[in-house]
Amino acid sequence: MTNDTLRLERISSDNFDAAVAVRVRPDQEHAVSPVMKSLAEAYVHPRTAWPRLILDGDRPVGFLMAFFDIAWVGTSADLRSGLWRLNIAADEQGKGYGRFAVESVAAEIRRRGGTGLYVTWHPGPTGPEPFYLGLGFSPTGETSGGQTVGVLNLT
């Protein structure tokens, strides 16, 4: 993997099958929804969801879905943007693709004028907390659906 071979691609009829074929490790399936559910949610929330296939060259290695400017906890006073889903293929984990995904979402949030990248994660030994903390996310003290809410300051 080199950064010049990594890219995000909009989900289309040409790469749909590759996107839905992305599977995390079996011990992680409880912590992240499959790509198919994410794409259904993107269809229902087209103004909010930003689904992308993560490619290394022409090889699919993961999937992400970001969200932009949603009213958090039912109030429009606190609009947030962040990472809704991150699915790195089981045999591609630990190679920097997750970091690339987070950095790509951070760049898009900055481009849109945002200053924070929010994410939620399931706590526990097989959860992604060490990954997110290692990238500089800080828990906000909030929870959402039993998940920890974290934020990465983009300023």
User: Tokens at residue 69, please?
Assistant: 């400017």
pTM over 0.75: yes
Domains of the chain in start order, with CATH, are 3-153 (3.40.630.30)
pLDDT per position as a tens digit, 7-56: 999 999 999 999 999 999 999 998 899 999 999 999 999 999 999 999 99
Band the pLDDT of 1: cuts 50, 70, 90: low
DSSP labels for 39-54? HHHHHH-TTTEEEEEE
DSSP labels for 54-76? EEETTEEEEEEEEEEEEEGGG-T
Amino acid at 113: G
Under DSSP, the state recorded for 95 is: S
